[in-house]
Amino acid sequence: MKDRLEIVASGFGGQGVVRLGQVLGEAAVKEGLRVTMLKSHGTEMRGGYVRSQVVLSPKTIDSPMCENPDFFVALSSAAYNRFKDTVPQEGLILFDPAFVEEIDAKLPCAQRELPAKQLALDNFGRVIFSNSIALGAMARLLEGQLKKEGILESLLEIIPKFHQENRDAFEIGYNYMN
């Protein structure tokens, strides 16, 4: 585990931006790590701007801000454009092309596409499972930092319904990142 791992997720309210951070954070707590997660949002619960900033560390965390995120999950064009420049060269942006239309090819960091919305529609006929697909993808990207099983376990604890579908969605995301 790195001394400090930063994960930012941002998009619209209702996409599961906060849930995503919460699941990863919960998995980290299970491994005995220290965790902070800031969430910022507008007045609206659905449709408004949302960002969660997760910091994981084996030590006490001072600043809870993700100034140079190791991972940035971009779920809207506005979010992508607002935070893309904070990702350092060794960082990675994971974006859903259904929401992020235009990619800045000049960025120094790695960028990977995850069509979570489309995969959810194709496999389940419902967009709601795209968040579990994104979590599966993050589980692959975080290998060596967080245990896959811990993330899945936290996901099933935090989202109490549709366990089989969420498991399947998680695996779809995990395998997509091959």
Partner 1 sequence: MKRFLETGNFAITEGAILAGCRFFCGYPITPATELAEAMSKRLPQEGGVYLQAEDECAAMHLCIGASLGGMKSMTATSGPGFILYADPYGWALGCEMPLVVVNSGRVGPVSGITGAPGQGEFYLTRYPTQGGNFECITLAPNSAQEAMAMVVEAFYLSERFRMPITVLVDQLITDGFEDITVPESEEEMRQMGFKTWPRAFCAGPDFYPFTDDLDIPPVQMGSGAGGMCSDWTPTVEGYDIEEVDAHHKHAYRLIYKVRNHRDMFNHLYEKKFMDDDPELVVVSYGTPSRVVNTAVDQARARGLKVGALRLINLWPFPDEHFARKAKYLAVELNWDGQLVREVQRAATKDAEVHFLGSCGDLPTIPDLLENFEKLLKNQPLTRKGWELEAW
Q: Rounded to an integer, what distance in angstroms lies between the CA atom of residue 172 and that of residue 3?
A: 30
Residue 2: Cβ within 10 Å count: 11
Contact 82, 88 (CB under 8 A): no
* Whole-angstrom distance, CA of residue 19 vs CA of residue 9: 10
- Separation CA 87–CA 157 (nearest Å): 30
Q: Does 36 bind partner 1 (CB under 8 A)?
A: yes
Please tell me what DSSP assigns to residue 47: S
> How many residues sit in the footprint of partner 1 (CB under 8 A)?
23
Beta bridge partners of 74: 10, 95
State in angstroms the smallest separation of the CB of 45 from partner 1.
Answer: 10
> Least separation, in Å, of the C-beta of 15 and partner 1?
16
Q: Closest approach of Cβ 26 to partner 1, in Å?
A: 5
Residue 6 lies near partner 1 (rule: CB under 8 A): no
Instruction: Check binding of 47 to partner 1 (CB under 8 A).
Output: no
Q: Is position 82 an interface residue for partner 1 (rule: CB under 8 A)?
A: no
Query: CB under 8 A: which stretch of 31-39, 71-79, 105-113, 163-171 binds partner 1?
Result: 31-39
Segment contacting partner 1 (CB under 8 A): 55-63, 106-114, 117-125, 144-152? 55-63
**Does 62 participate in binding partner 1 (rule CB under 8 A)?**
yes
Listed residue (110, 112, 103, 107) closest to 80, CA to CA: 103
Q: 100, exposed or middle or buried, with CB in 10 Å at 0-12, 13-18, 19+?
A: buried
Retrieve residue 176's tokens: 């997509």
Query: Counting contacts by CB under 8 A, is residue 34 touching partner 1?
Result: yes
Q: Per rule CB under 8 A, is residue 111 in the interface with partner 1?
A: no
Least separation in angstroms between CB 25 and partner 1: 5
Give contact residues for partner 1 (rule: CB under 8 A).
21-22, 25-26, 28-29, 33-43, 61-65, 67
